[in-house]
């Protein structure tokens, strides 16, 4: 998904992750504006990657559980920049805020991502537990 939409990770700090995404034919809706879904993909990508950088990847994995986004400003072209910062880093869940801005640092979208932190199975993937049904 990252390469398909042209998303690039550009900076990693002590408590944030930054990435960019072009506003072009891949990320625009039919009216020529930045597609809200593309903004959500950028937000979830940055938040999920950042969440996984905060845990031991040999025993746990962070997976998206819920995301919300408020689209605040239309954009027709250029590049947007997303900055993911933690709101809560718990043992079993994390909450991230992702602010997406245009080239003038005007807020285009603000998003909040909740991830579940789950144990990995022996194969390195998430261990999915389903309830027994009789």
Q: Tell me which residues are annotated as active site.
A: 44
Calpha distance 43→32 (Å, rounded): 20
Query: 17: part of which helix (H) or strand (E)?
Result: strand 17-23
Q: What angle do CA 8, 13, 18 make, to 5 degrees?
A: 25
| Buried-exposed string 88-107: b where 16+ CB fall within 10 A, e elsewhere | eeeeebbbbbbbbbbeeeee
Calpha distance 124→18 (Å, rounded): 26
Contact of 107 with 100, CB cutoff 8 Å = yes
């Amino acid at each position: 998904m990252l390469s398909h939409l042209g998303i690039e990770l550009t900076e990693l700090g002590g408590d944030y992750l930054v990435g960019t995404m072009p506003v072009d034919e891949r990320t625009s809706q039919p009216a020529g504006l930045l597609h809200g879904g593309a903004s959500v993909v950028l937000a979830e990508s940055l938040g999920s990657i950042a969440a996984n950088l905060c845990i031991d990847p040999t025993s746990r994995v962070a997976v998206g559980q819920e995301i919300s986004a408020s689209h605040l400003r239309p954009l027709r072209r250029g590049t947007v920049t997303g900055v993911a910062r933690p709101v809560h880093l718990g043992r079993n869940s994390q909450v991230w805020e992702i602010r997406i801005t245009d080239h003038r640092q005007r807020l285009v979208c603000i998003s909040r991502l909740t991830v579940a932190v789950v144990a990995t199975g022996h194969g390195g993937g998430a261990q999915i537990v389903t309830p027994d049904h009789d």
